[in-house]
Amino acid sequence: MARLSYREALNQAMCEEMERDDSIFLMGEEVGHYQGAYKVSQGMLQKFGEKRVIDTPIAECGFVGVGIGAAMTGLRPIIELMTWNFSLVAIDQIVNNAAKIRLMSGGQFKMPVVFRGPGGAAGQLGAQHSQALEYMYANVPGLKVVMPSTPADAKGLLKMAIRDDDPVIFIEGERLYGVQGEVPDGDVVVPLGKADVKREGTDCTIVSWSKMLTVALEAAEVLAKENISVEVVDPRTIKPLDGETIYQSVRKTNRCVVVEEGHGFSNVGAEIVARVQRNCFDDLDAPIERVHRMEIPMPYAANLEAMITPDVPRIIAAVKRVMYLPESKPESKPQSKVE
Is 0.75 topped by the overall pTM? yes
Q: What CATH number does the domain containing 145 carry?
A: 3.40.50.970
In a domain, 190, yes or no: no
| CA neighbor of 14 nearest in space, from 220, 330, 257, 35 | 35
pLDDT cut 90: percent of the chain above it: 93
Task: State how far Cα 26 lies from the chain centre.
Answer: 20
- Interatomic CA distance for residues 163 and 255, integer angstroms: 37
Q: Read out DSSP for 19-39?
A: HH-TTEEEEETTSSTT--TTS
Tens of pLDDT, residue by residue over 292-308, are 999 999 999 999 999 99
The residue from 8, 129, 172, 271 that is catalytic is 129
Which residue range is the domain that position 237 belongs to? 196-322
114 plus 161 within the same structural domain: yes
- Asked if 60 is an active-site residue, the reply is yes
Contact between 258 and 208 under an 8 Å Cβ cutoff? The reply is yes
- Asked if 292 is an active-site residue, the reply is no
The residue from 29, 60, 134, 174 that is catalytic is 60
State the pairing for strand pair 168-173/196-199: unpaired
Tens of pLDDT, residue by residue over 21-78, are 999 999 999 999 999 999 999 999 999 999 999 999 999 999 999 999 999 999 999 9
82 plus 167 within the same structural domain: yes
Q: Which of 162, 183, 204 is the last residue of a domain?
A: 183
178 plus 202 within the same structural domain: no
The DSSP call for residue 86 is G
State the pairing for strand pair 204-208/230-234: parallel
70 plus 207 within the same structural domain: no
Q: Which of 140, 159, 183 is the last residue of a domain?
A: 183
Q: What CATH number does the domain containing 244 carry?
A: 3.40.50.920
238 plus 169 within the same structural domain: no
